[in-house]
Amino acid sequence: MLDYTGADALMIGRAAQGRPWIFREIQHYLETGKLLPPMPIAEVQCLMQAHVKELHDFYGLSKGIRIARKHVSWYLREHAPDDQFRRTFNTIEDASEQLEVFGGIFRKILRKSKKRADRTMFEQRGNSDVLTVATVNAQDQITQKPLRDSVKQALKNYFAQLNNQDVNDLYELVLAEVEKPLLDMVMQYTRGNQTRAALMLSINRGTLRKKLKKYGMK
């Protein structure tokens, strides 16, 4: 558009309503030529709740509650086209109640999203709830086995070398061997986005930051 019109810049207004992360998507595309995947529903929920809370704080409860209604409508038009929730939300006059009701609608959205994702994953790769490890035998044949089997075998080898000696901090030893690479891969997958990483791990950001610091990770 800039090349066609000769304009120096492009103003983005309505396209960012209910989708404030559009600027990150545009920047990523300009830098890589590739589209970012859709933002996870759980992260949309976190952003929307934080946004509404900031509206309450900035405008005051009376005005903030009213302004929040249109922003919530923009956020949900893609994920919840049925406007029943929006009609209900627009009748709420209490700030804390506005924040509390998000849990119900997003659980509903997540259930629908998970059902679609589960069907797709099952069709593509079978049961995706089991982490697997790929191994290559002498004939260069690749086989998959559950990660827990690999962990169990590693522990068997470890105990075989103990010769009945007692050890301390075994739990921490094993946990560190699994937790550190898990954190590393999750942070790579989320491109360093701690909010998204915490959601994937089902822990809060404070706990995530402590774990990253523990292992000397950023």
Residue 110 makes CB contacts below 8 A (sequence gap 6+) with 41, 42
In this prediction the pTM is: 0.49
- Count of CA atoms in the C-beta half-sphere (13 A) of 47: 19
CATH number where 46 lies: 1.10.1200
Question: Based on the domain organization, do 100 and 47 belong to the same domain?
Answer: yes
Per-residue pLDDT reduced to its tens digit, 103-117: 778 877 777 766 554
Q: Look at residues 107, 125, 143 and tell me which one is the last residue of a structural domain.
A: 125
pLDDT at 147: 77
Per-residue pLDDT reduced to its tens digit, 31-87: 999 998 888 888 888 899 999 999 999 999 999 999 999 999 998 887 776 677 888
Residue 176 makes CB contacts below 8 A (sequence gap 6+) with 215
Question: Based on the domain organization, do 139 and 203 belong to the same domain?
Answer: yes
pLDDT at 124: 43
Q: Look at residues 67, 98, 125 and tell me which one is the last residue of a structural domain.
A: 125
Number of domains in the chain: 3
pLDDT above 70 for 152: yes
CA dihedral 152, 214, 186, 78 (to 10 degrees): 130
CB-CB neighbours of 101 under 10 Å = 14
Question: Based on the domain organization, do 141 and 209 belong to the same domain?
Answer: yes
Which amino acid, one-letter code, is at 82? D
* Range(s) of the domain holding residue 80: 41-125
Question: Based on the domain organization, do 179 and 209 belong to the same domain?
Answer: yes
Residue 153 makes CB contacts below 8 A (sequence gap 6+) with none
pLDDT at 21: 92
Task: Provide the pLDDT confidence category of residue 118 given band limits of 50, 70 and 90.
Answer: very low
Q: Look at residues 82, 100, 125 and tell me which one is the last residue of a structural domain.
A: 125
